[in-house]
């Protein structure tokens, strides 16, 4: 947990002690640092598998649990999530993710596809990859899906993504209940249903509402799922839809700053009160909650310097390796992992009990990971390690700008995943 302190008149946060990191992560990083420059991720696949089993066990039997591949698309992590007792299937948002998912999923496992700007080529690639349900974002997209399906001699199972007029749950990011590029505005849904029912390549199976991300109020989230189910049942009844699929999205939040976590027991208790009718598959598709705690991002300190009263600790990678901290309005947790090796030249720069800004190697002032974090001691050559970096890390990074080496990804050895599926590397 980051503890607030006051330094130089600024409300700051204190860096974590290196001992807060798992010993196996520390040992792995220090061993690698002696051989190569460090900007990359370490994953513990057993943590991902454990989180998936924990959530799957908490959900009612009627719930289908998908994992949003956009949050972590590393194949070993996906295999861990898909191990026995874990997630039931995957949700993808690109042809690349769909092809990857197809190599990992067992026969018959659900594979949903969502996201805006699904152009004709992408829609064809999604169908070819075996996507079981396509979430449609507009009437034009419905027509494109119908054409692509007819070209392949099939009817595509489609759910309309709905942007509800009001959303009673809050989180760190809202995609519904407001103007948005995502989904069909609720007042326009009747016309979209009528349009979909008239298209020869479309089998309209239901609705998708992913309206919020980062919600940690379990009771409110369960109520939201119930509202999505009720809305879908009523809309299907009045509009003549053979309802078979209701996707309430993901949105389960995690805590980075020590504030209360989502109460899984309360979520389970509240969801268990819902009773979907037979034949209706109710889908939840979290990403971050499942994989956040299975990853660590590490970056080697390259330089330390002062500029007009502010101290900068400059690392390899930065937002080119891990961009997520710059998108949030609180400091992400970070630990200093000391390294004793120093080859010079000259004296080794260091700072003690100093509030610092951690910046990266890109030629832009936007390349900042955290600001105003007090570090008891930091030296050039040490490693800064960000825990809770298993979600929206490698996949979300600005890794093309300047062409620096892309952040590496390593899965810890010695953490086998019981019941993991056998699949290609």
Spot the catalytic one: 107, 363, 400, 413.
Answer: 363
Report the half-sphere exposure of 334 (CA within 13 A, side-chain side).
36
Please give the C-alpha separations between residue 374 and each of 70, 94, 334, 357, 398, in angstroms, as whole numbers.
32, 40, 10, 9, 26
CB 172 within 8 A of CB 76: no
Helix 189-197 / helix 218-239 crossing angle, nearest 10 deg: 50
- Number of CB atoms found within 10 A of residue 153's CB: 7
Place of tokens 């105003």: 372
Given the DSSP bridges, would you call strands 368-379 and 10-14 parallel, antiparallel or unpaired?
A: parallel
Distance of alpha carbon 104 from alpha carbon 89, whole angstroms: 10
CB 210 within 8 A of CB 161: yes
Place of tokens 């007009």: 308
Dihedral class, residue 85 (left if φ above 0, else alpha if ψ from -120 to 50, else beta): left
Q: Do you know the residue count of the chain?
A: 425
**Tokens encoding 289:** 């909650």
Place of tokens 């990074």: 397
Residues paired with 42 in a beta bridge: 296, 410
Active site residue 363: yes
Distance of alpha carbon 128 from alpha carbon 118, whole angstroms: 14
Question: Which are the contacts of 209, defined by CB distance < 8 A and separation ≥ 6?
Answer: 161, 162, 163, 164, 176, 183, 228, 231, 247, 248, 249
Q: Residues of 71-90 as b/e, b for ≥16 C-beta within 10 angstroms?
A: bbbbebbbbbbbbeebbbbb
> Active-site residues: which are they?
363
């Amino acid at each position: 947990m980051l503890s607030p302190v006051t330094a130089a008149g600024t409300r700051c946060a204190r860096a974590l002690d290196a001992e807060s990191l798992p010993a196996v992560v520390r040992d792995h990083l220090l061993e690698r640092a002696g051989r190569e420059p460090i900007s990359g991720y370490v994953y513990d696949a057993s943590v991902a598998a454990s989180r998936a089993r924990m959530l799957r066990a908490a959900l009612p039997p009627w719930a289908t649990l998908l994992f949003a591949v956009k949050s972590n698309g590393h194949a070993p992590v996906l295999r861990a999530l898909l191990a026995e007792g874990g997630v039931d299937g995957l949700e993808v948002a690109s042809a690349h993710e769909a092809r990857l998912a197809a190599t990992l999923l067992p026969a018959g496992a659900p594979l949903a596809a969502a996201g805006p700007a699904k152009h004709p080529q992408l829609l064809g690639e999604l169908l070819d990859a075996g996507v079981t349900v396509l979430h449609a974002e507009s009437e034009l997209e419905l027509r494109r899906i119908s054409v692509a399906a007819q070209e392949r001699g099939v009817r595509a199972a489609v759910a309309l993504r709905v942007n509800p007029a009001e959303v009673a749950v809050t989180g760190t990011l809202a995609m519904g209940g407001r103007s948005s590029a995502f989904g069909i505005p609720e007042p326009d849904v009747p016309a979209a249903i009528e349009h979909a029912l008239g298209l020869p390549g479309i089998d309209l199976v239901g609705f998708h509402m992913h309206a919020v991300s980062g919600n940690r109020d379990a009771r409110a989230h369960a109520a939201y799922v119930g509202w999505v189910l009720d809305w879908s049942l009523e809309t299907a009844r009045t509009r003549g839809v053979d309802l078979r699929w209701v996707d309430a999205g993901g949105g389960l939040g995690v805590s980075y700053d020590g504030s209360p976590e989502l109460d899984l027991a309360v979520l389970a208790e509240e969801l268990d009160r819902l009773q979907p009718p037979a034949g209706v598959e109710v889908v939840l598709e979290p990403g971050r909650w499942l994989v956040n705690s299975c990853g660590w991002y590490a970056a080697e300190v390259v330089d330390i310097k002062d500029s007009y009263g502010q101290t900068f600790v400059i690392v390899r990678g930065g937002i080119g390796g891990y961009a997520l901290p710059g998108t949030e309005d609180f400091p992400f947790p970070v630990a200093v992992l000391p390294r004793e090796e120093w080859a010079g030249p000259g004296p080794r720069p260091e700072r003690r009990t100093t509030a610092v800004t951690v910046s990266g190697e890109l030629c832009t002032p936007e390349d900042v990971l955290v600001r105003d974090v007090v570090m008891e001691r930091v030296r050039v050559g040490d490693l800064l390690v960000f825990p809770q970096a298993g979600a929206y890390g490698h996949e979300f990074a600005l890794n093309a700008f300047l062409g620096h080496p892309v952040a590496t990804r390593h899965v810890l050895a010695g953490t086998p995943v019981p019941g993991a599926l056998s699949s290609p590397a």
